[in-house]
Amino acid sequence: MKKVFIFALVLLIFSSMFAADVVYKRDETLYAGGGMWAPPSNWSPITPWNAVTGTVGLLYETLFNYDPLTDTLIPWLAESGKWTSNKTYEIKLRKGMTWHDGHPLTSKDVKFTYELAKQIPEIYYSPVWNWLAKIDTPDDYTVVFTFSSPRYHEWSYDLYQNPILPEHIWAKKSKDDVLTGANEKAIGSGAYLFETYGTDRMIYLRNDNWWGNKVFGQPKPKRIVYLTVSSNNVALGMIMKGELDCSNFFLPGIPTLKKTYTDIHTWFDKEPYMLSDNTAYLFFNTTIKPLNDPNLRRALAYAIDPTIIAKNVYEGQVLPSNNVGFLPIKGWMKFYPENAVKQYGFKYDPKTARSLLDKAGYKDVNKDGYREAPDGSKFKIEISVPYGWTDWMESAKIIAAQFVQVGINAEAKFPDYSKYNDDLISGKFSAAISNSGSQMTISPWTSFNWLFNSPISENMYNGNFGKYNNQKLFDLVTQLNSTPMDDTAANKKVIEQIAEIFLKDMPAIPLWYNGMWFEASTQVWKGWPSEKTPYAYPTTWGGRWQTGGVMMLIGLKQ
Ligand code: CA
């Protein structure tokens, strides 16, 4: 007995070492990084923000995918989906789909996935039941969602965001296991299988029985080795040597290196090299004096020159934001509020900033070089960004210097990430840069819902970090959500009103677009998507594979 036990133990130790050290056939393997920051330990679609990247997208799948390049919802597990009345959305599932263990995937799994969150209100998507009334499954392939008060924008987002679970596995789990289980050896429906993992890598094996092979084509890499990489510099070296095929890291130096290393691929061959993926905003704490004064916040918008940041900090790898933080993607720009921007927009113009400050009563009374508040009190704006986020640290310093230029005492401040985040959520800051909810989605509503999140509470976990309180604006964001997505004119009308309030009150200032960082090596894999062949949005970030990552795997060549 003892011998067997030791043998098993030795085998166990060997097999876990094996995961890290085994050499896979190079031309069958894709090495990727930029979306995993800790040793793999969670594959739960119920806690996707903690899960290894690919948990949603590669293992578990969504009803639709979304392609931001063409602004199209791509039927995925769903073969089609449509509003059959203003309160009912009907989905037809594809036939012949199976889970990784061979069980058929049917309408019952979809119904179960949603109803699980009704039973267990701690599940992140359970608030859908505030506006979803019931789900019917007239047959194995039809799902009818009936809403009490439909939220069209949110629903379009959920359709490609929420992974569908296998009922035959998840119905047997305890509540605790559902909520906090690691879900190792996850059984999904996707193009890749959970193979193994090591401390610095997750290894996915291609699912040769994937239902999608017949629909979309088979992904080219037999294996994906997803790596944690200790620093951006290490990632840069790996890209140059061809050890990393696909990187979603921000890599300083790419514009220069591309000139020498012709096998480094980026989306654009010249500036800005990267697609724009999310908007960095400067939030102001609107609950403290004098930052509660919209005149001050608006004047400061004129003091910031984001083009300097784009050039000096990002070497031209990012673009300055437009006035309302709208990403330059089809799905958002079709709603762009040009009238509000024309009437209330701002631009870098320190002269205007100074005159607006003068007019609002901000003057240097004691002649120390900085303006005092209208009541004569001294103040200083501290701009918080997490320590170690070198690009943001540099940017915060530039903004502080630009504030000083117009006579506002300001300084960049670098707390460690957890303090930065706690301060942001609890409102213990004067100004802070954040992009946590401004990422590319199917609708600018997601970004508004983050910027103007309501109601205001002690801790703001989901945005509106400066606790800007404006019920009229909150109502408009709700109204936008309840406007059918295909009524462009009606959506634009609401967005014009939102933008007017935003630009007049400036609770946050849009700065620049962080890139969809993407550097690929053409040494092993070719056919990467680019401006010239824009077949997929090149992302392998957690929760984002279904916005292009999987399509990229299908489109690769050798
Ligand atoms: Ca002064």
Q: List, for residues 314-353, the tens digit of each pLDDT value.
A: 999 999 999 999 999 999 999 999 999 999 999 999 999 9
Distance in Å, CA 376 to ligand 1 centroid: 9
Beta bridge partners of 132: 147
Distance in Å, CA 151 to ligand 1 centroid: 50
CB atoms within 10 A of CB 556: 20
pLDDT of residue 282: 98
User: Side by side, which strands form the sheet with 410-413?
Assistant: 319-320, 508-516, 275-284, 431-434, 381-384, 410-413
pLDDT of residue 7: 45
Distance in Å, CA 373 to ligand 1 centroid: 9
Distance in Å, CA 409 to ligand 1 centroid: 9
> What pTM does this model have?
0.94
Distance in Å, CA 363 to ligand 1 centroid: 7
Distance in Å, CA 294 to ligand 1 centroid: 20
pLDDT of residue 21: 58
CATH architecture of 192-274+517-555: 3-Layer(aba) Sandwich (3.40)
Please answer whether residues 414 and 393 qualify as being in contact, where contact means their C-beta atoms are separated by less than 8 angstroms.
Answer: yes
- Range(s) for CATH 3.10.105.10 in the chain? 276-515
What lies within 8 Å, CB to CB, of 342 at 6+ separation is none
Confidence label for 23 from pLDDT (cuts 50, 70 and 90)? confident
CATH architecture of 60-180: Alpha-Beta Complex (3.90)
Distance in Å, CA 350 to ligand 1 centroid: 18
What is the overall mean pLDDT for the chain? 95
**Residue 52, amino acid:** V
Residue where the block lists tokens 């910031």: 304
Nearest CA among 193, 173, 210, 162 for reference residue 63: 162
Distance in Å, CA 231 to ligand 1 centroid: 43
Integer Cα distance of 534 and 548 in angstroms:
10
Distance in Å, CA 366 to ligand 1 centroid: 5
Which sign, positive or negative, has the C-alpha torsion 427, 430, 433, 435? positive
Distance in Å, CA 17 to ligand 1 centroid: 64
Nearest CA among 424, 414, 409, 408 for reference residue 389: 414
pLDDT of residue 88: 98
- Range(s) for CATH 3.90.76.10 in the chain? 60-180
Could you report the per-residue pLDDT of 390-436, keeping only the tens digit for each? 999 999 999 999 999 999 999 999 999 999 999 999 999 999 999 99
Please answer whether residues 481 and 449 qualify as being in contact, where contact means their C-beta atoms are separated by less than 8 angstroms.
Answer: yes
pLDDT of residue 215: 97
Distance in Å, CA 408 to ligand 1 centroid: 9
Distance in Å, CA 383 to ligand 1 centroid: 20
Distance in Å, CA 493 to ligand 1 centroid: 43
Question: In terms of DSSP H, where are the helices of 57-151?
Answer: 107-119
Integer Cα distance of 372 and 447 in angstroms:
34
Helix (H) or strand (E) holding 224, with range, is strand 223-227
Distance in Å, CA 307 to ligand 1 centroid: 29
Query: Could you tell me the fold of the domain covering 276-515?
Result: Dipeptide-binding Protein; domain 3 (3.10.105)
Distance in Å, CA 502 to ligand 1 centroid: 29
Helix (H) or strand (E) holding 500, with range, is helix 488-505
DSSP 523: T
Residue where the block lists tokens 């999310």: 278
Integer Cα distance of 400 and 403 in angstroms:
5
Could you report the per-residue pLDDT of 267-294, keeping only the tens digit for each? 999 999 999 999 999 999 999 999 999 9
Question: In terms of DSSP H, where are the helices of 309-444?
Answer: 330-333, 338-344, 350-359, 390-405, 417-426
pLDDT of residue 20: 52
